[in-house]
Amino acid sequence: MGRIEIRRNILEANETLACRNREFFKANGVLVVNVMAAPGAGKTSTILKTIEVLKDRYACAVIEGDMASRIDADVMAERGIPVEQINTGNMCHLDANMIMQASGKFTFDTPTILFIENVGNLVCPSEFSLGEDLNIVIASTTEGHDKPYKYPSIYLRADAVLINKTDLLEAMEFDRKMFCDGVAAVKPMPPMFEISCRTGTGLDGWAQWLSAECERKFAQSRGKVAGR
């Protein structure tokens, strides 16, 4: 069995489980947001700040993915956010099976946004569906404007792109046009939001877009239930 075939088998097996996750989430009224970014781009901060804005309207929960440690899960738990930590060991991404195990531990008794913080990695998470509704990629001004050119596959999956740490945009000489051209070279331009988790800039616009996505999903779910 060749390496390419093994790879295909692994991805196909994952896809089957991702479909089951998708059905489970739909049946339970859960909108799933898969958050992908390089290490240190601000995944945890963005999820925290987004939940702060949306928590009065929606129930929120988080799955944290890291090779090791419970640092991020502890931060969420301190704020009273329902959270499950996945430690992947030497695995470089989350997969559908891990999400199936972790999501079974929550009680979803009201429409919920489930944020999945993937392992910090701009390569491998792009290949593994988790059963998510939305894939979000967070770039940060401190990592530079050339990343879409160097890591195109993660941007190819992005339903929305967030540029974080915009309070440092000028100091970092972050070239917004070069960044956007790089994303646009990969796919039709997705919605893009410039935010700063430190100052709070831009978070409302992003949360508003996410709310609209939630409304659409939850309306669909209600429609389906009503139509039965």
User: How many residues of this chain bind its own copies (CB under 8 A)?
Assistant: 36
When binding is defined by CB under 8 A, the residue of 140, 166, 196, 221 that contacts its own copies is: 140
Decide whether 28 or 87 has the Cβ nearer to its own copies.
Answer: 87
Stretch that binds its own copies, among 24-32, 90-98, 205-213, 220-228 (CB under 8 A): 90-98
Q: Is there a contact between 151 and 186 (Cβ–Cβ < 8 Å)?
A: no
The helix/strand/coil state of 199 is: coil
Closest CA to 32 of 24, 40, 43, 42: 24
DSSP assignment letter at 159: S
DSSP assignment letter at 17: H
When binding is defined by CB under 8 A, the residue of 56, 78, 90, 227 that contacts its own copies is: 90
Cβ within 8 Å of residue 101, ≥6 positions away? 86
Decide whether 60 or 119 has the Cβ nearer to its own copies.
Answer: 119
**Cα–Cα distance, 176 to 144 (Å, whole number):** 10
Task: Give me the count of residues in the chain.
Answer: 228
Stretch that binds its own copies, among 20-28, 36-44, 53-61, 216-224 (CB under 8 A): 36-44
Please tell me whether residue 39 binds its own copies under the rule CB under 8 A.
Answer: yes
When binding is defined by CB under 8 A, the residue of 18, 31, 35, 38 that contacts its own copies is: 38
Decide whether 60 or 137 has the Cβ nearer to its own copies.
Answer: 137
Stretch that binds its own copies, among 22-30, 87-95, 189-197, 214-222 (CB under 8 A): 87-95
- Which residue has tokens 């489980």? 17
Return the number of other C-beta atoms located less than 10 Å from residue 70's C-beta. Answer: 14
**Cα–Cα distance, 195 to 136 (Å, whole number):** 13
- Would you state the structure tokens that stand for residue 116, as one six-digit string? 């999945």
When binding is defined by CB under 8 A, the residue of 121, 129, 135, 166 that contacts its own copies is: 121
Q: Is there a contact between 38 and 147 (Cβ–Cβ < 8 Å)?
A: yes
Please tell me whether residue 1 binds its own copies under the rule CB under 8 A.
Answer: yes
Please tell me whether residue 11 binds its own copies under the rule CB under 8 A.
Answer: no
Residues of this chain that bind its own copies (CB under 8 A)? 1, 3, 6, 10, 38-41, 66-69, 71, 90-92, 119-124, 127, 140, 142-144, 146-147, 149-153, 165, 168
